[in-house]
């Protein structure tokens, strides 16, 4: 997740079990954060716009008490002992020789041990630490590092400036040509991009392209300038072998550059978690396929890798569950991500790819409003709303609409409860199947009792699926099959 306007933007997502207020199509597009849609307003399927501290170990001073048995003698005590136990002259000579040999062997062992310790210290010194405490691997071979240390060399900090401020995220080196993967939301609207490598080297980057739908992007640095810092990551080509309980590590920049290259450990909690993302007006924008993990991810982790115990990238961290939840993070699976990233490098976008990662909101292709059986309504064409005539007359309602400057539309007599079709969108699945004036009663035998019920019935399906729609048409019940269309931008 990236820090957007101070920190990485945190996506607010709902788990699959949660039903959003996903209305059908709205005749009056809603901008920004909106109150609940009035009951008498037609709704339309409109374009989406998704919005450790460290603790010092306490040190206990060693006890300063004399042990009960003293193992170190003074020179005088040693001399007195030797004199008291003096052997005959010949024996002293023999014993003296033995003592010399024993002493020599002891000194040799001590020297060998000291040399070994010194050599280990010198080898450890090959890791040259920067002022931030991160190791700069100098001449230590790749084989001498742990897989996670190797993976960390492929991670970068991404700092962007935008018109409204700036933010921090994470990236993964794709190849030696300077291409780096990250999330679309990390670089969206960026005016400048600064990349920082593990050894502290910094350089500017430019955007190659991105896919907002898949939340993936590619940036590029000048490879010759940072050739020695470019360590391409190893990606898992297929995530079919991922399993629940598999150990994984998230590497990123949570909380800003001060905590760059933080590594957290966890497991894969769910292999193919489908997450719904919602617009600010409560309608579903899209569904995305993710890897769910309990490895802690926070603002700033966006675009960073989720790696296995071999240091291979299994996913690109993209978001976490908001609203105070912890241990519920999501990553874009590496196999689907590579397909998108390669397309972006090649074409600057992923328009040519039939993504296996994200799925647009499926639509019937109608504009409609929920009506109740036995009620009479008058359409206000100017506002795109219907007015219930309950408690008054049709004429009074028509007069009120005209007096308010509105244009009086059709009078609707609801023969049944359901979603009244006010219009059919050209080029969508409902064209030629549904008609203005139809009242949608059910979808795949699920009764439609509200606008939310229609949306939920459709949200369970995918673009291209065929659904069976039962409608009331002029008092008669008609059943038609409709191929679901995609929500377009």
Q: Tell me the pLDDT tens digit for each residue of 345-384.
A: 999 999 888 888 989 889 999 999 999 999 999 999 888 8
Which phi and psi angles does 284 have, rounded to 5°? -70, 135
Indicate left, alpha or beta for 458 from its phi (over 0: left) and psi (-120 to 50: alpha).
alpha
Task: Spell out where 239-283 has E strands.
Answer: 247-252, 262-278
Determine contact, residues 332/277, Cβ cutoff 8 Å. no
Closest CA to 169 of 12, 297, 291, 269: 297
State the residue for tokens 């009479």: 376
Determine contact, residues 488/45, Cβ cutoff 8 Å. no
Mean pLDDT of the chain: 78
State the residue for tokens 């629940």: 244
3-state secondary structure of 142: helix
State the residue for tokens 């780096």: 180
Find all residues with CB under 8 Å of 148, minimum gap 6, and list them. Answer: 249, 251, 263, 307, 311
Using DSSP bridges, classify how beta strands 127-129 and 7-8 pair: parallel, antiparallel or unpaired: unpaired
Q: For residue 42, what pLDDT is reported?
A: 54
Lowest mean pLDDT among 56-65, 273-282, 434-443: 56-65
Judged against a pLDDT cut of 80, whether residue 35 lies above it is answered with no
**Position with higher pLDDT, 55 vs 472:** 472
Q: For residue 82, what pLDDT is reported?
A: 40
Q: For residue 32, what pLDDT is reported?
A: 34
Residue 256, CA distances (Å) to 22, 169, 242, 252 in order: 34, 8, 30, 9
Residue 409, CA distances (Å) to 378, 397, 399, 406 in order: 7, 11, 12, 9
- Please tell me the distance from the alpha carbon of residue 80 to that of residue 94, in angstroms, as a whole number: 20
Find all residues with CB under 8 Å of 141, minimum gap 6, and list them. Answer: none
pTM of the model as a whole: 0.65
Judged against a pLDDT cut of 70, whether residue 43 lies above it is answered with no
Find all residues with CB under 8 Å of 395, minimum gap 6, and list them. Answer: none
């Amino acid at each position: 997740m990236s820090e957007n306007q101070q920190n990485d933007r945190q996506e607010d997502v709902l788990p699959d079990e949660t039903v959003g207020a996903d209305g059908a199509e709205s005749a009056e597009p809603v901008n920004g954060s909106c109150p609940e849609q009035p009951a008498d307003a037609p709704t339309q399927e409109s374009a989406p716009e998704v919005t450790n501290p460290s603790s010092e170990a306490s040190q206990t001073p060693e006890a300063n008490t004399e042990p009960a048995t003293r193992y170190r003698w003074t020179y005088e005590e040693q001399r007195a002992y030797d004199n008291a136990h003096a052997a005959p002259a010949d024996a002293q000579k023999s014993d003296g020789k033995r003592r010399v040999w024993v002493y020599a062997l002891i000194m040799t062992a001590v020297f060998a041990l000291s040399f070994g310790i010194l050599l280990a210290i010198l080898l450890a010194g090959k890791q040259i630490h920067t002022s931030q405490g991160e190791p700069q691997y100098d001449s230590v071979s790749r084989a001498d590092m742990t897989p996670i240390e190797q993976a960390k060399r492929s991670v970068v900090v991404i700092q962007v400036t935008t018109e409204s401020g700036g933010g921090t995220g994470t990236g993964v080196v794709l190849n030696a040509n300077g291409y780096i993967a990250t999330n679309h939301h990390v670089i969206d609207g960026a005016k400048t991009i600064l990349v920082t490598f593990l050894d502290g080297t910094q350089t500017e980057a430019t955007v190659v392209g991105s896919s907002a739908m898949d939340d993936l992007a590619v940036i590029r640095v000048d490879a010759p300038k940072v050739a020695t810092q470019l360590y391409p990551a190893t990606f898992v080509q297929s995530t079919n072998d991922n399993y629940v309980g598999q150990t994984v590590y998230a590497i990123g920049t949570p909380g800003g550059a001060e905590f760059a290259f933080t590594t957290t450990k966890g497991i894969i909690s769910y292999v193919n978690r489908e997450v719904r993302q919602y617009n600010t007006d409560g309608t579903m924008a899209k569904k995305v396929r993710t890897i769910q993990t309990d490895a802690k991810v926070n603002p700033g982790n966006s675009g960073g890798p989720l790696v296995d115990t071999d240091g291979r990238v299994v996913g690109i961290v993209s978001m976490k569950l908001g609203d105070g939840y912890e241990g519920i993070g999501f990553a874009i699976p590496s196999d689907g991500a590579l397909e998108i990233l390669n397309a972006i490098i090649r074409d600057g976008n992923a328009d040519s790819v039939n993504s296996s990662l994200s799925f647009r909101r499926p639509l019937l292709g109608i504009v409609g409003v929920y009506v109740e059986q036995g009620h009479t309504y008058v359409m206000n064409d100017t506002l795109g709303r219907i007015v219930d005539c309950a408690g008054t007359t049709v004429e009074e309602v028509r007069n009120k609409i005209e007096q308010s400057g509105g244009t009086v539309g059709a009078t609707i007599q609801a023969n049944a409860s359901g979603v009244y079709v006010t219009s059919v969108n050209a080029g969508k699945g409902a064209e030629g199947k549904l008609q203005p004036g139809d009242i949608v009663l059910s979808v795949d035998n699920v009764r439609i009792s509200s606008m939310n019920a229609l949306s939920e019935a459709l949200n369970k399906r995918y673009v291209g699926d065929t659904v069976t729609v039962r409608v009331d048409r002029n008092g008669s019940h008609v059943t038609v099959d409709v191929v679901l269309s995609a929500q377009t931008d």
